[in-house]
């Protein structure tokens, strides 16, 4: 039976040597980096902005109880129905229940990673609802029956040709592989869906405690249509999305746009404060907010890694991660790929089953440097390794490290092994790079470094 | 100043010329070198693999041995990071915490020691080649070493430094390179193509472990690139006529890299 680790290993082996994939991602993210750096340069003090953002999130997460209560009280005051979901299952039941009660048939959805996390589409479709993703990238991966590749750019791994192919196959309409024409095809299909849908489901980028509002950031206007046209609006969000004050958005919106997509500010930034109020011309008749825990409180209880709840899902850590860039987002087999996924998935879904993600890292720290809210990502991977091994020691590994320490720290044993190694490497050529090679994991793709004829310490002793 | 040199296992066995160059440079600057001959390992492989219980006894030995050292120098940013940045964490809440913190404050990596501690940038070296510099991730992000090696390279005669477009990991990552060899290799390939794009002949770094990985790929793929530690570059041309002892390494005479026949790379 394939397990998460065997699936990860076999998928990563394939993708890591797929040069077409490598070039595609390197070039897409290379362009992103240029725009991101241009936008970062427009901040007076980028490092100062990161520090401020981290402090705001620190305050929000450390007083989550207070801010959540404030957020919910304000929201309810304007007629919003708030639901608390401790588990993914509860959230699915709440949302399916609302759709059933409204006798809905068709649901339109804008991008929400939280919905991916609870596998909402699958459940709604099984319950007989038609669910259509309205974000273009999500729409494309939905047509291809795939999971998103990236938390911000779900279809970044696809070429125009591949998008044209799926449009042709599933929609019967793809005049060319011109991006504008393809977008128009999607638009024609989606516009109809917004009008027909009885329920619209959105995610949220931020939840403002002070005013009881949901903030949604997007570039296509699809989230606005998803929220405004159907009679019932449902917003699903994790409890960690809360920010204390409305003014905090003055920092977080440009910051998210900068590191998320290399934009000064996203195309559309909308605040939702409740259902249509009396005298208002538009907006949903009903507004439901589903607050999801799903083990976030477990993370909150972990003093060492609590800052992982600072995450604003910008994708900056994915974009700079050399592992992500070489294995791609779908290889992880998680909702959240890349460094942040490797940090939070063990909390969300179990450390022993997902610890391999913490080991699948060179601990280079590019993620930590890129994170706009200063999550100590790569050190958390190191802590996951420690906790995983402390919980469930691997006896041969313990033995190997004890043996290694003994070998390198006992001078005569070290000298002896160097001498034997020098003899051994003369014969290495016989098996080098084959499966008989004891160094196969290294030599299958790299040459082994030759041992020096004289070690430094031997040189030093002779010189004294 | 009395300097205690901690030579990591792979430098001792594979890259003795790095430590020899370090000794020569510091002696030339008038310092007394003591080599911690009985220390070879900082415990990082076990630590990074999550086996903290196995890393602690190794670390305790280091703490004990270096307790009275005035200044500890490690010609490896990665091992330096282990002593400076990670020992205090490894020993937090143990009786060795204070010793770990004390050691942390007196450990230096080679390039930062020269520039930040000694205030030296010009060693009179000459290295006629176009080079690019690889930031080892531990050097860069745990030790915060970025400008020191570049200041040193800027003063090397006839050397041209060309930066790579991306600051990216070489893919080594210790046991990671064995646990996920294909991901590690792909990362190394990206690093090599970045370096090749600069047109440099050499990748210079303060981390021999990174260079070991990159050189392994260069040799397998027969790329037109060579790797060299910063200490070797700085020792080049220091005393006219000085020849490095025959340590069996491919670059034996760092004085004249042009005349050194590096078979595959020069083809």
Whether B19 and chain A come into contact, CB under 8 Å, resolves to yes
Contact A68, A74 (CB under 8 A): no
Question: At which of A238, A273, A294 does a domain end?
Answer: A294
In chain B, whose CA is at the least distance from the CA of A29?
Answer: B166
Whole-angstrom distance, CA of residue A27 vs CA of residue A184: 25
B256 vs B86, higher pLDDT: B86
In angstroms, what separates the C-alpha of A438 from chain B's closest C-alpha?
Answer: 12
Q: Average pLDDT, stretch A383-393?
A: 98
Residue A94 counted as domain residue: yes
Residues of A in contact with B17 (CB under 8 A): 452
Domain ranges of chain B: 2-116, 122-266
Q: A9 phi and psi, to 5 degrees? A: -65, -45
Q: A84 phi and psi, to 5 degrees? A: -105, 125
Question: At which of A242, A277, A294 does a domain end?
Answer: A294
Tell me the pLDDT band of B242, cut-offs 50, 70 and 90. Answer: very low
Whole-angstrom distance, CA of residue A23 vs CA of residue A5: 26
% of chain A surpassing 70 pLDDT: 100
Whole-angstrom distance, CA of residue A240 vs CA of residue A178: 39
The pLDDT of residue A26: 96
Q: Say which DSSP state B142 is in.
A: I
Nearest to B51 among A323, A365, A401 (CB): A401
Give the pLDDT confidence of A312-355 residue by residue, as tens digits: 999 999 999 999 999 999 999 999 999 999 999 999 999 999 99
Whether B37 and chain A come into contact, CB under 8 Å, resolves to yes
Complex ipTM over 0.85: yes
- Helix A395-409 and helix B52-66: axis angle, to 10°? 20
What stretch of H or E contains B35?
strand B32-35
* HSE value, Cβ hemisphere, 13 Å, CA-based, for B7: 26
Please determine, for residue B107, whether its predicted confidence score (pLDDT) is greater than 70: yes
The pLDDT of residue A433: 81
Distances (CA, A) of A333 to A12, A162, A298, A338, A354: 11, 22, 22, 11, 10
Residues of B in contact with A33 (CB under 8 A): 166
Contact A342, A23 (CB under 8 A): no
Contacts of B27 (CB under 8 A, 6+ apart): B33
The pLDDT of residue A137: 97
In angstroms, what separates the C-alpha of A241 from chain B's closest C-alpha?
Answer: 29
Q: Do B177 and A382 touch (CB under 8 A)?
A: no
Q: Average pLDDT, stretch A94-106?
A: 97
Closest CA to A384 of A278, A277, A302, A283: A302
Whether A24 and chain B come into contact, CB under 8 Å, resolves to no
Whole-angstrom distance, CA of residue A442 vs CA of residue B177: 7
In angstroms, what separates the C-alpha of B126 from chain A's closest C-alpha?
Answer: 24
The pLDDT of residue B237: 78
In angstroms, what separates the C-alpha of B6 from chain A's closest C-alpha?
Answer: 11
**What is the number of domains present in chain A?**
2
Whether B15 and chain A come into contact, CB under 8 Å, resolves to yes
Q: Say which DSSP state B258 is in.
A: G
The pLDDT of residue B239: 59
Q: A445 phi and psi, to 5 degrees? A: -135, -5
Contacts of A29 (CB under 8 A, 6+ apart): A319, A325
Q: What would the two tokens of residue A427 be?
A: 């014969």
A residues 363-402 lying closer than 8 A (beta carbon) to B: 363-366, 368-369, 382, 384-390, 397-398, 401-402
Whole-angstrom distance, CA of residue B111 vs CA of residue B90: 25
| Coil/strand/helix, residue B43 | coil
Tell me the pLDDT band of B110, cut-offs 50, 70 and 90. Answer: very high
Instruction: Tell me which CATH code domain B122-266 carries.
Output: 3.40.50
Residues of B in contact with A17 (CB under 8 A): 182, 185-186
Residue A172 counted as domain residue: yes
In chain A, whose CA is at the least distance from the CA of B208?
Answer: A449
| Three-state SS annotation for A217-240 | EECCCHHHHHHHCCCEEEEEEEHH
Nearest to B51 among A397, A409, A445 (CB): A397
Whole-angstrom distance, CA of residue B221 vs CA of residue B214: 11
Q: Do A461 and B37 touch (CB under 8 A)?
A: yes
Give the pLDDT confidence of B245-256 residue by residue, as tens digits: 444 443 434 433
Q: Do A456 and B7 touch (CB under 8 A)?
A: yes
Residue A240 counted as domain residue: yes
Tell me the pLDDT band of A1, cut-offs 50, 70 and 90. Answer: confident
Residue A320 counted as domain residue: no
% of chain B surpassing 70 pLDDT: 89
Please determine, for residue B123, whether its predicted confidence score (pLDDT) is greater than 70: yes
Whether A36 and chain B come into contact, CB under 8 Å, resolves to no
Whole-angstrom distance, CA of residue A67 vs CA of residue B77: 43
Torsion of CA A279, A283, A285, A290, to 10 degrees: -130
Whether B98 and chain A come into contact, CB under 8 Å, resolves to no
B residues 115-154 lying closer than 8 A (beta carbon) to A: 137, 140-142
Closest CA to A265 of A284, A286, A250: A250
Q: What would the two tokens of residue A158 be?
A: 């696809």
Nearest to A360 among B19, B58, B180 (CB): B180
The pLDDT of residue A435: 84
Q: Is the dihedral of CA B138, B139, B140, B144 positive or negative?
A: positive
The pLDDT of residue A421: 94
Give the pLDDT confidence of A52-79 residue by residue, as tens digits: 999 999 999 999 999 999 999 999 999 9
Which of B50, B54, B250 to mutate to probe the A interface, most A CBs <10 Å? B50
Q: Do A326 and B187 touch (CB under 8 A)?
A: yes
Q: Do A389 and B186 touch (CB under 8 A)?
A: no
Nearest to A364 among B13, B51, B137 (CB): B137
In angstroms, what separates the C-alpha of A251 from chain B's closest C-alpha?
Answer: 26
Torsion of CA A402, A408, A411, A412, to 10 degrees: 80
Question: At which of A241, A261, A294 does a domain end?
Answer: A294
* HSE value, Cβ hemisphere, 13 Å, CA-based, for A271: 13
Whole-angstrom distance, CA of residue A171 vs CA of residue B81: 56
Whether A178 and chain B come into contact, CB under 8 Å, resolves to no
Domain limits for position A429 = 395-463
Give the pLDDT confidence of A161-195 residue by residue, as tens digits: 999 999 999 999 988 999 999 999 999 999 999 99
Please determine, for residue A294, whether its predicted confidence score (pLDDT) is greater than 70: yes
Residues pairing with A206 in the sheet: A215
Are residues A283 and A147 part of one domain? yes
Helix boundaries (H) for chain B:
9-13, 16-28, 44-48, 52-66, 77-81, 87-90, 97-104, 110-112, 137, 147-154, 176-179, 181-197, 208-221, 230-235, 263-266
In angstroms, what separates the C-alpha of B8 from chain A's closest C-alpha?
Answer: 10
Are residues A400 and A263 part of one domain? no
* HSE value, Cβ hemisphere, 13 Å, CA-based, for A284: 32
Contact B84, B6 (CB under 8 A): no
| Coil/strand/helix, residue B179 | helix
B residues 193-212 lying closer than 8 A (beta carbon) to A: 212
Contacts of A130 (CB under 8 A, 6+ apart): A105, A106, A107
Q: Say which DSSP state B94 is in.
A: S
Strands A199-202 and A106-109: parallel
Residues pairing with B190 in the sheet: none
Residues of A in contact with B248 (CB under 8 A): 450-454
The pLDDT of residue A408: 87
Residues of B in contact with A13 (CB under 8 A): 182
CB count within 10 Å of CB A177 equals 15
The pLDDT of residue A409: 86
Give the pLDDT confidence of B73-83 residue by residue, as tens digits: 999 999 999 99
A431 vs B14, higher pLDDT: B14
What is the residue-averaged pLDDT of chain A?
A: 96
CB count within 10 Å of CB B266 equals 11
Q: Average pLDDT, stretch B20-36?
A: 95
């Amino acid at each position: 039976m394939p397990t998460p680790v065997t699936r990860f290993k076999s998928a990563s082996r394939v993708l890591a040597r797929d040069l077409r994939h490598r070039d595609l991602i390197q070039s897409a993210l290379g362009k992103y980096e240029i725009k991101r750096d241009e936008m970062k340069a427009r901040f007076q003090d980028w490092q100062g902005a990161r520090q401020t953002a981290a402090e705001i999130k620190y305050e929000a997460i450390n007083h989550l109880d207070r801010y959540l209560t404030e957020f919910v009280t304000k929201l309810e005051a304007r007629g919003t129905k708030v639901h608390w979901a401790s588990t993914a299952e509860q959230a699915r039941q709440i949302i399916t229940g609302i759709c059933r009660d409204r006798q809905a048939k068709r649901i339109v959805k804008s991008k929400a990673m939280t919905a991916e996390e609870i596998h909402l589409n699958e459940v709604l479709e099984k319950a007989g609802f038609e669910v259509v993703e309205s974000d273009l990238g999500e729409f494309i991966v939905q047509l291809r029956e795939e999971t998103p590749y990236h938390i911000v750019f779900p279809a970044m791994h696809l070429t125009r040709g591949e998008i044209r192919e799926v449009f042709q196959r599933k929609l019967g309409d793809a005049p060319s592989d011109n991006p504008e024409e393809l977008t128009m095809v999607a638009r024609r299909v989606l516009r109809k869906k917004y009008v027909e849908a009885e329920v619209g489901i959105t995610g949220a980028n931020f939840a403002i405690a002070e005013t009881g509002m949901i903030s949604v950031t997007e570039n296509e206007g699809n989230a606005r249509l998803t929220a405004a046209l159907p009679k019932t609006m449902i917003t699903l969000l994790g409890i960690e999305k809360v920010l204390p004050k409305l003014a905090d958005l003055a920092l977080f919106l440009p910051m998210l746009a900068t590191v998320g997509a290399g934009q000064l500010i996203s195309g559309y930034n909308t605040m939702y404060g409740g259902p249509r109020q009396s005298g208002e011309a538009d907006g949903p008749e009903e507004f439901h907010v589903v607050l999801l825990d799903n083990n976030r409180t477990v993370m909150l209880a972990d003093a060492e890694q609590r800052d992982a709840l600072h995450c604003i899902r910008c994708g900056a850590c994915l974009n700079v991660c050399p592992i992500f860039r070489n294995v791609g987002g779908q290889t992880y087999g998680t909702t959240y790929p890349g460094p942040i996924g490797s940090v939070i998935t063990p909390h969300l879904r179990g450390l022993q089953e997902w610890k391999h993600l913490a080991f699948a890292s060179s601990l280079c720290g590019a993620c930590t440097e890129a994170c706009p809210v200063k999550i100590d990502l790569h050190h958390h991977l190191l802590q996951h390794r420690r906790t995983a091994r402390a919980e469930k020691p691997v006896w041969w590994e313990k033995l190997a490290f004890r043996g290694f320490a003994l070998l390198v720290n006992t001078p005569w044993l070290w000298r002896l092994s160097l001498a034997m190694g020098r003899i051994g490497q003369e014969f290495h050529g016989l098996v080098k790079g084959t499966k008989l090679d004891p160094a196969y994991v290294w030599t299958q793709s790299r040459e082994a470094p030759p041992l020096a004829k004289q070690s430094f310490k031997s040189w030093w002793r002779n010189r004294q | 100043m009395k300097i205690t040199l901690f030579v990591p296992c792979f430098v001792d066995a594979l890259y003795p010329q790095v430590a020899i160059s370090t000794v020569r440079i510091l002696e030339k600057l008038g310092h007394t070198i003591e080599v911690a001959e009985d220390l070879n390992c900082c415990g990082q492989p076990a630590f990074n693999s999550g086996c903290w219980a196995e890393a602690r006894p190794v670390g305790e030995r280091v703490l004990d041995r270096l307790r009275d050292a005035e200044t500890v120098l490690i010609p490896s940013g990665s091992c330096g990071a282990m002593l400076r940045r990670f020992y205090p964490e490894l020993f937090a809440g143990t009786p060795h915490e204070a010793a770990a913190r004390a050691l942390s404050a007196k450990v230096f990596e080679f390039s930062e020691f020269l520039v930040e501690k000694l205030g030296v940038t010009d060693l009179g070296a000459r290295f006629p080649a176009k080079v690019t510099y690889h930031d080892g991730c531990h050097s860069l992000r745990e030790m915060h070493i970025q400008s020191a090696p570049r200041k040193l390279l800027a003063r090397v005669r006839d050397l041209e430094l060309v930066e790579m477009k991306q600051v990216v990991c070489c893919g080594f990552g210790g046991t990671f390179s064995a646990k996920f060899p294909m991901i590690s290799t792909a990362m190394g390939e990206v690093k090599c193509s970045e370096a090749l794009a600069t047109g440099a002949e050499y990748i210079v770094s303060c981390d021999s472990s990174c260079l070991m990985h990159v050189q392994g790929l260069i040799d397998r793929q027969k790329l037109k690139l060579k790797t060299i530690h910063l200490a070797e570059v700085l020792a080049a041309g220091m005393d006219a006529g000085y020849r490095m002892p025959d340590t069996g390494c491919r670059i034996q005479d760092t004085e004249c890299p042009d005349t050194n026949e590096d078979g595959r790379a020069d083809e």
